[in-house]
């Protein structure tokens, strides 16, 4: 690494379901953050680390910032996202190119208080019915505040991602790498396994899935040739437990099969995954319960 090597932190900020986790996974070329069509899928801060010949880019994926803060879980997610703005070098403000919402406005107001350079990444341009709409849309969004650059992208398709990365790199400070070049995240395999189970639940249950659900790894044991994982799925009510298990255990079985395949790909080895569903009433609105389940502000 020469004297012109750059290294720094980049916060990915935006409202829920705007594509931050999809963007991070696209940049890294592998799944680090879970995704689904459900808003507020991301609940934790996750680092994604990409080391190039000229720079190490340390991305901070965050929960979506949103107005509703009635439950402890929502307050946790907003605090986690806001805290990511405290000590970074660059901010990427991700918006949906097709619409501007009250939550986008809320994020914009939070950016008024920071001094770091902000890039506006206008996502989902592949979904615009008429490409002639793009330029007027970009002009409208660029007037929201002073941005370093406004870059249209498609995180799902990979459009213009290299241009975004190049723009970010020029804004990072000259500094040596902070992580080994082969490290891609700060999260443990145990954490990622729990997240993959939760992702499959979100995707399998769709609108039926209650937000009062989380996954805890009860045991994680590796032995030659196989890794044994026991995971608890916590819900708030008996009716939710019934939904998660499904008729004759079908939902839980399918979730387990799909999560096991992803975990095996993650660790490049055989996995024995067992799932149980338990009830912890009101956990998503209890600060102490949240902390006991790993939802801490200083993650």
CB 153 within 8 A of CB 23: yes
Whose CA is closest to 189, among 231, 141, 150, 161? 231
Is pLDDT above 80 for 167? yes
C-alpha distances in angstroms, 17 versus 37, 75, 125? 7, 17, 15
Residue among 227, 190, 13 at smallest CA distance from 109? 13
pLDDT, tens digit, for every residue of 234-280?
988 898 899 999 999 999 999 999 999 999 998 889 999 999 999 98
How many CB atoms within 10 Å of residue 256? 17
85-94: b (≥16 Cβ within 10 Å) or e = beebbbbbbb
Signed CA dihedral, 172, 101, 285, 21: sign only: negative
Mean pLDDT (the chain) is 85
Using pLDDT thresholds of 50, 70 and 90, give the confidence band for residue 184.
Answer: very high
Q: pLDDT for 201-223, tens place per residue?
A: 988 886 666 567 888 899 999 99
- What are the pLDDT digits (tens) for 88-100? 899 999 999 888 9
Identify whether the C-beta of residue 18 lies closer than 8 Å to the C-beta of residue 96. Answer: yes
Name the H helices within the chain: 20-28, 72-83, 102-111, 134-142, 161-171, 189-205, 238-245, 250-267, 287-292
Q: What are phi and psi of 262, to 5 degrees?
A: -70, -40
pLDDT of residue 290: 66
Torsion of CA 146, 65, 24, 256, to 10 degrees: -170
Q: What is the pLDDT of residues 34-67, one digit of tens each?
A: 666 655 555 667 889 999 999 999 998 877 665 6
Q: Which stretch of DSSP H or E encloses residue 10?
A: strand 6-13
What was the pLDDT predicted at 195?
Answer: 87
Q: What is the pLDDT of residue 252?
A: 94
Three-state DSSP at 95 gives: strand
Q: Residue 24 has what pLDDT?
A: 92
Mean pLDDT of 178-184: 93
Q: Give the C-alpha separation, 69 to 79, whole Å.
A: 10
CB 263 within 8 A of CB 275: no
Give residue 77's pLDDT. 59
* pLDDT score of 297 more than 60: no
- The predicted pLDDT at position 227 comes to 96
Domains and their CATH numbers in the chain: 6-171 (3.40.50.300), 189-292 (3.30.300.20)
**Is 299 a residue whose pLDDT tops 60?**
no
Q: How far apart are CA 254 and CA 205, in angstroms?
A: 11
Q: Give me the phi and psi of 100, to 5 degrees please.
A: -120, 130
154: DSSP letter: B
Name the pairing type of β-strands 226-235 and 213-223: antiparallel
- CA dihedral (97, 98, 102, 106) in degrees, to 10, reads 0
Quick check: helix, strand or coil at residue 260? helix
Question: What DSSP line would sit under 171-183, residue for residue?
Answer: HSPB---SS-TT-
Confidence of residue 229 (pLDDT cuts 50, 70, 90): very high
> With contact defined as beta carbons under 8 Å apart, do 185 and 14 qualify?
no
């Amino acid at each position: 690494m020469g004297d012109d090597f750059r290294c720094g932190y980049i916060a990915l900020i935006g409202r829920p379901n705007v594509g931050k986790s999809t963007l991070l996974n696209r940049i890294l070329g592998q799944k680090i953050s879970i995704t689904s069509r459900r808003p507020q899928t991301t609940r934790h801060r996750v680092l994604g680390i990409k080391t190039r010949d000229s720079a190490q880019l340390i991305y901070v994926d965050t929960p979506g910032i949103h107005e509703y803060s009635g439950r402890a879980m929502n307050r946790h997610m907003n605090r986690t996202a806001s805290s990511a703005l405290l000590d970074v070098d660059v901010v990427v403000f991700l918006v949906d190119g097709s619409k501007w919402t009250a939550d986008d406005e809320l994020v914009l107001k939070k950016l008024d208080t920071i001094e770091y350079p902000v890039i506006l990444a206008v996502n989902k341009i592949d979904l615009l019915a008429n490409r002639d709409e793009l330029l007027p849309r970009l002009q409208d969004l660029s007037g929201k505040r002073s941005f370093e650059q406004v870059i249209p992208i498609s995180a799902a398709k990979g459009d213009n991602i290299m241009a975004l990365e190049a723009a970010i790199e020029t804004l990072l400070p000259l500094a040596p790498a902070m992580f080994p070049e082969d490290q891609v995240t700060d999260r443990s395999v145990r954490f990622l396994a729990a997240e993959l189970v939760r992702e499959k639940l979100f995707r399998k249950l769709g609108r039926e899935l209650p937000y009062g659900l989380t996954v805890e790894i009860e045991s994680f044991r590796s032995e030659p040739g196989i890794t044994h994982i026991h995971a608890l799925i916590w819900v708030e009510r008996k009716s939710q437990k019934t939904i998660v298990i499904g008729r004759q255990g079908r939902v839980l079985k399918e979730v387990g099969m799909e999560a096991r395949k992803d975990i095996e790909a993650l660790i490049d080895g055989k996995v024995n995954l067992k799932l149980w569903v338990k009830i912890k009433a009101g956990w998503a609105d209890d600060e102490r319960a949240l902390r006991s389940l790993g939802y801490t502000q200083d993650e």
